[in-house]
Structure 1
Amino acid sequence: MIFEYSKWDATRAAFQQRLDELMKLFRWLLNRAAGDADTALDWLDHLAEKYGLWGDGIDRDEFEKQLRETGEVERDAAGSHSLTHKGERAMRSVALKDLFGELRKSGGPGEHRARHTGSGGEPEPFVKPYTFGDDLWSIAVTPTITNAVRRSFERGEDDMTIQEEDLMVHETQDNTQCATALLVDCSHSMVLYGEDRMSPARSVTMGLVEMIQTRFPRDRLHVIAFGDDAVEVPLAKVPYLSWGPYHTNTKAALEMARELLTRSRCPNRQVFMITDGKPTVLDEGGHRYIDAGWLNPRIINRTLDEAGQCRRKGISITTFMMTDDPVLTKFVEQLTEINQGRAYYTGTGKLGQFLMVDYLQNRKRNVR
């Protein structure tokens, strides 16, 4: 390793600090802009002009230059900026980092399941005496040697040897493969009444994609956006998830999820649904029924039928409600009872905490 020392450059240090702060703000705005780099840059410029954020040798032109040098953004011949694959990956990485940061601060919600130790899987920080059948790769070296030294000293032995009675092994958890369909409500209500629910939903989706791709590559994830229709979203395009002038076709989203998950051979199959509204759309018999009023019996019953079909296929549904609307709550209670799944009211602040903890717990199978 080679270290190079030079005279402290206060100007350069101020430049770098300012750039880091602006980059952090830009990435936050980029999520709110659904991956639209030009929109995020315009918002940043407006804030910088209003609050005096430009400085230390950085204006908009210099920031755009520095941004392009990271390789996360590129400019076309017309002068428009767009995310590169590296930029899309950076958005997902930041989202995952933020989610785990929230988990560390909160301690994680929903830590309620019993733990049983056993062989195989990922090592835990706890150790136990070795028993026949334990994997040798899980031997805890330091506790094992400590036991051997203590035993040799107590018996007055000149040479230290390791016996079977000295062996200690890490307790482990078996991780099972998991197939998940993440359903994201993209209806108009996700941005109504002055509350942006779409950005937290997008951020959580990006974080889940990044976690599965980097930490659990054998797991399967399908992202389904639903409004008037249900559409599977390529994982690379998740940063661009956005709302539209849509109603809520929950039945179509659950049906697509069931069809996709039924093809999977993963032992754990589950649906995570992020929504802020009751079902208001039904496609049946070549006709589309729309009712944005109270709970329409026809739309609700067909949607609940789909939840029942998921249950019969062994697919659990966990619903994350982003509003405590009584009408939505009544529907979700019915859906949860029929599917024997789970439901959480998370609002926008704790959506990531609940969803990530639930995912990590669901993919662990603890054995003796």
Structure 2
Amino acid sequence: MIGYNFSKYDPSQQGKSKFEQLLDIFLKMLAYTNGDAGEAMQWMNELDKEYNLTDDEYGMGDFFEDLKKNGYIDENKQNGEIKITPKTEQGIRRKSLEEIFGKLKKTKQGNHQTFKPGNGDEINPETRPYIFGDTLEQIDFTSSIRNAQINHGVESFSLHEDDLEIRETDFKTQTSTVLMIDISHSMILYGEDRITPAKKVAMALSELIQTKYPKDTLDIVVFGDDAWTIEIKDLPYLQVGPYHTNTVAGLELAMDILRRRRNPNKQIFMITDGKPTCLKVGGRYYKNSWGVDRKILNRCMSLATQCKKLKIPITTFMIASDPYLQRFVQEFTETNNGKAFFASLDKLGSFIFKDFESGKRKTVY
């Protein structure tokens, strides 16, 4: 007698092989293990024991071999250490993008159209008569020569100003973004993992810009006692440290990066869970973890004012709900004339996505 095996229908897994289904889980595990492939594989085995991810036909050993065969991991034959490859790093970013923002089709050109005509690389089908100040590159010579032939005849060709037609190009906004991520110790305190959602958002945002807005720039700044930049490829390995929160150092570095960017549109996104508690004065660190320190706060407000003068809005995503922290964020935001969101961890990605996308629909002069 022929039997049938019934299982719960999962539309997200439709058409996926067993390897692809396990790969989705593996990529998620890597975000939680800071890119440690060995630890991720241990978690895969534990999940397999509890939820029967594999069967007699395809086991976890088969999955491990397929990871190597398909170039997702490299194994050191001398000590048995396994590491993820650049292909996997991109896979984690893409998985984060799909999870937070949905699937996006890669485009060859930036997609920041506005209704304001101007210099750009997208040709507008509409033409208009020449006016003083138009450049030579804007002249539609085919239409202009046709006009000259109609107006003055074919035999004695002459081209006058009234014959010229201008073909405009659509203006496109290009944006330089610095994403600041707090990696102070509080990001993993009290049993709540705040750094993993922040990393996933950063990976999704970087993949979004690289696929949909490739003419934009994204720089990642992490800040603890000090601030430094990291490469997009290093995001899966990002960890918190025994640091205080030197927001000033992060803002100073972000401003320095944006000063060197030629795009007229610049912005800072800052993900943090706490107040500034650290400041570098000369060669020493000034620290105060108790309440809001006026000395540190004043320096933050000064930088917020400088950013406002430079037309660099700061959008703060506060993943904490303490009333005194909200007051600090409100004062900081008003000083910069920026925006602030008090985002829960599960909504952080959608908050950032909506804010980033809404900025693309504005005409920035």
TM range, smaller chain: 0.7 to 0.9
1:81-160 map, 5 Å: 81-101=82-102, 117-119=115-117, 132=128
Hey, what does 2:51 align to over in structure 1? 51
Hey, what does 1:191 align to over in structure 2? 188
AA of the residue aligned to 2:67: L
Hey, what does 1:24 align to over in structure 2? 24
| Matches of 1:173 and 1:331, distance apart in 2 | 41
Hey, what does 2:336 align to over in structure 1? 339
| Matches of 1:179 and 1:16, distance apart in 2 | 37
- Give the deviation of 1:66 after TM superposition: 1.2
Instruction: Name the SS of the counterpart of 1:356 in structure 2.
Output: helix
| Matches of 2:39 and 2:197, distance apart in 1 | 18
Hey, what does 2:345 align to over in structure 1? 348
Hey, what does 1:62 align to over in structure 2? 62
| Matches of 1:302 and 1:71, distance apart in 2 | 48
Hey, what does 1:74 align to over in structure 2? 74
Residues 173 and 363, structure 2, Cα contact 8 Å, conserved in 1: no
Instruction: Name the SS of the counterpart of 2:271 in structure 1.
Output: strand
| Matches of 2:305 and 2:171, distance apart in 1 | 29
- Give the deviation of 1:271 after TM superposition: 0.5
Hey, what does 2:267 align to over in structure 1? 270
Residues 185 and 274, structure 1, Cα contact 8 Å, conserved in 2: yes
AA of the residue aligned to 1:98: E
Provide structure 1 residue ranges, at least 5 long, that are not aligned to the other structure: 1-9, 104-114, 124-128, 136-171
TM-score if structure 2 supplies the norm length? 0.76
Return closer, same or farther for 1:354/1:55 CA change in 2, 3 Å cut-off: same
**Aligned counterpart for 2:356 among listed residues 338, 348, 359:** 359
- Give the deviation of 1:89 after TM superposition: 0.9
Residues 93 and 210, structure 1, Cα contact 8 Å, conserved in 2: yes
AA of the residue aligned to 2:333: T
Hey, what does 2:160 align to over in structure 1? none
Hey, what does 1:42 align to over in structure 2? 42
- Give the deviation of 1:325 after TM superposition: 1.7
- Give the deviation of 1:341 after TM superposition: 0.4
- Give the deviation of 1:360 after TM superposition: 2.1
Return closer, same or farther for 1:49/1:319 CA change in 2, 3 Å cut-off: same
- Give the deviation of 1:117 after TM superposition: 3.7
Residues 175 and 365, structure 1, Cα contact 8 Å, conserved in 2: no
Hey, what does 1:325 align to over in structure 2? 322
**Aligned counterpart for 2:198 among listed residues 201, 216, 231:** 201
- Give the deviation of 1:283 after TM superposition: 0.4
**Aligned counterpart for 1:222 among listed residues 219, 230, 233:** 219
| Matches of 2:198 and 2:121, distance apart in 1 | 30
Provide structure 2 residue ranges, at least 5 long, that are not aligned to the other structure: 6-12, 105-112, 130-137, 139-168
Q: Deviations over 1:53-79 (max 9, x none)?
A: 231423332211011122121111221
AA of the residue aligned to 2:24: K
Hey, what does 1:304 align to over in structure 2? 301
Hey, what does 1:212 align to over in structure 2? 209
Aligned-residue CA RMSD (Å): 3.1
Instruction: Name the SS of the counterpart of 2:101 in structure 1.
Output: helix
Q: Deviations over 1:95-122 (max 9, x none)?
A: 112222399xxxxxxxxxxx97455779
Question: Size of the alignment, in residue pairs?
Answer: 307
Hey, what does 2:258 align to over in structure 1? 261
| Matches of 2:72 and 2:180, distance apart in 1 | 28
Residues 176 and 217, structure 2, Cα contact 8 Å, conserved in 1: yes
| Matches of 2:282 and 2:315, distance apart in 1 | 29
Residues 182 and 223, structure 2, Cα contact 8 Å, conserved in 1: yes
Hey, what does 1:291 align to over in structure 2? 288
| Matches of 1:117 and 1:179, distance apart in 2 | 21
Hey, what does 2:157 align to over in structure 1? none
1:233 aligns with 2:230: yes
Instruction: Name the SS of the counterpart of 1:205 in structure 2.
Output: helix
Return closer, same or farther for 1:312/1:14 CA change in 2, 3 Å cut-off: closer
Return closer, same or farther for 1:15/1:313 CA change in 2, 3 Å cut-off: closer
| Matches of 1:117 and 1:233, distance apart in 2 | 36
| Matches of 2:187 and 2:268, distance apart in 1 | 20
Q: Deviations over 1:285-304 (max 9, x none)?
A: 22211111110111111122
AA of the residue aligned to 1:340: N
